[in-house]
């Protein structure tokens, strides 16, 4: 077996995913080739380091400490806000909402008046245009 083939199959060899015949062939090559054996040892060491780093130790009290800190910060932020600001904020939002409703009603009323005057103008236009009233002249003009 060539070194390049062993290098391609080395990860599968270390994980034990090769067939029995391929495992024997790779093992024989590693016993004969010193460079490939050193490479396999380095790869084993790298895998062991990755495996230990992959599973960090879990601190059972981490969640409770984070939750306590967040609750403490929330309490401090509420205490820092003055009472006047806590009362004025909903009042200001209510006033803005009422002004928006009032403006919407006024805007709707003016647009209804404008559309009513527009329909009156559209009803008068046919009487002012003589070509639309007399269909015979219209027919001859076409």
Distance CA 13, CA 19 (A): 9
Question: What pLDDT is attached to residue 96?
Answer: 96
Distance CA 30, CA 7 (A): 10
Residue 134 has pLDDT above 70, yes or no: no
Q: Note whether 14 and 44 are within 8 A (CB).
A: yes
Distance CA 139, CA 49 (A): 95
Question: What pLDDT is attached to residue 102?
Answer: 94
Q: Note whether 43 and 10 are within 8 A (CB).
A: yes
Distance CA 101, CA 109 (A): 12
Distance CA 104, CA 109 (A): 9
pLDDT tens profile 98-127: 999 999 888 888 776 666 665 655 565 555
Question: What pLDDT is attached to residue 116?
Answer: 60
User: pTM value?
Assistant: 0.38
């Amino acid at each position: 077996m060539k070194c390049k083939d062993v290098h391609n199959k080395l990860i599968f060899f270390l994980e034990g995913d090769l067939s029995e015949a391929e495992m024997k062939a790779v093992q024989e090559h590693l016993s004969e080739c010193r460079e490939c054996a050193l490479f396999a040892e380095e790869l084993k060491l790298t895998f062991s380091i990755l495996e230990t780093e992959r599973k960090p130790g879990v601190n059972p009290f981490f969640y409770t400490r984070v939750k306590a800190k967040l609750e403490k910060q929330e309490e401090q932020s509420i205490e820092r806000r003055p009472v006047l600001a806590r009362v004025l904020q909903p009042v200001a939002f209510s006033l803005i909402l009422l002004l928006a409703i009032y403006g919407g009603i006024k805007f709707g009323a003016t647009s209804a008046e404008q559309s009513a005057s527009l329909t009156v103008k559209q009803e008068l236009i046919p009487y002012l245009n003589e070509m639309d009233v007399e269909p015979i002249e219209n027919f001859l003009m076409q």
